[in-house]
Amino acid sequence: MSDDLLVERRDHVARLTINRPERRNALSIALTRELNELFTELDDDPDIWAITITGAGDQAFCAGTDLKELDERAKTLGLGPPHPMRGPDRNLFEVVVETGKPTIAILNGPAYAAGCELAMACDMRIAADHAGIALPEAKRGMGANFGSIVLPRMVPRAIAFRMLYTGDPISAQEALHWGLYNEVVSSAELEDAAERLLASIVINAPLSLQRYKQMATKSWDTPLHSALRLNVGPDVYASRDREEGVRAFVEKRKPNWEGR
């Protein structure tokens, strides 16, 4: 990994930090590729049961795509911005959505544009109380391809259209009100609150977490009777962890998960 992306693997959790505070943690093309590769790698790592992503400092979780880089490419190379869902690289937000393990965005500051989309691609969001969120692409003549599809599925349509049409941010408290954030705390409490949330997740059977992720993601907008017949993710019913979980409950002890 480059200096723009910090990675810590501890207690079955991969903790990622976008480390570009001088650019408000904006996503460069190279960093986007790194994140794509890393999420794919972590998805295949059996020792990783959950993934978090945050930004360095407290000024921004991620300010979006690095527009200075795009402008420089346009001026010097005559290249336009990458088109979503086209080209040799997969779309980062699609990769995050399809990662088969719990993903949590820890919003240490505002999440704008592609930063908002990155946060929405994660399963859960915990935020500092100054961490507003916005899709200001209409103010820049851009499209928010992922956000324009996903946001109306996450909040009431009128709220989604207000955010898309105006490009204006909503506060952390309003995001919490509409269910876009799971929890809002002070900046001083953010790290501890995130660790408590993580601990409550990774204490559980990793194969169950992975099956929940696959079933919930792949059944989204699927008719009920079709969704009930999905069988995706690990087969927890035939796993050794299922046997261990039942035995631990009967013996009144903490289970020892193997991920098998």
pLDDT, averaged per 10 consecutive residues of the chain (260 residues), comes to: 92 97 95 96 97 97 89 76 75 96 98 98 98 96 93 97 98 98 98 97 96 93 92 93 95 95
What pLDDT score was predicted for residue 83? 74
* Tens-place pLDDT, residues 25-76: 999 999 999 999 999 999 999 999 999 999 999 999 999 998 888 778 777 8
d(CA 171, CA 180): 11
Find the catalytic residue in 8, 69, 98, 137. 137
CB burial of 214-223 (b: ≥16 within 10 Å; e: otherwise) equals bbeeebeeee
CATH number for the segment(s) 5-202: 3.90.226.10
pLDDT value of position 195: 96
3-state secondary structure of 194: helix
**Alpha carbon separation from 63 to 21, 68, 74, 81 (Å, rounded):** 10, 12, 20, 16
In whole angstroms, how large is the CA radius of gyration of the chain?
19
For the chain, the helix, strand and coil percentages under 3-state DSSP, each to the nearest 5: 45, 15, 40
For every residue of 215-247, DSSP letters joined together read HHHHTTT--HHHHTT---S--GGGSHHHHHHHH
Q: At what angle do helices 157-166 and 145-154 cross, to 10 degrees?
A: 150
To the query of whether residue 191 is one of the catalytic residues in this protein, the response is no
pLDDT at 257: 96
Phi, psi at 181, each rounded to 5°: -105, 145
> Which tokens go with 90?
């997969």
Q: Which pLDDT score, from 0 to 100, does residue 12 have?
A: 96
Distance CA 209, CA 99 (A): 12
Question: What does the alpha-carbon distance between residue 236 and residue 252 come to, in Å, rounded to a whole number?
Answer: 21
Residues 6 or more apart whose CB falls under 8 angstroms from that of 141 comprise none
Do strands 13-18 and 5-10 pair parallel, antiparallel, or not at all (unpaired)?
A: antiparallel
- Helix 206-218 vs helix 240-250: crossing angle, to nearest 10: 120
Rounded Cα gap, residues 122 and 116, in angstroms: 10
- Whether 8 is a known active-site residue: answer no
pLDDT at position 73, please?
Answer: 75
pLDDT of residue 66: 87
Q: Which of 8, 34, 117, 191 is catalytic?
A: 117
Q: What pLDDT is recorded for position 7?
A: 97
Domain borders along the chain are: 5-202, 206-250
**Separation CA 257–CA 245 (nearest Å):** 8
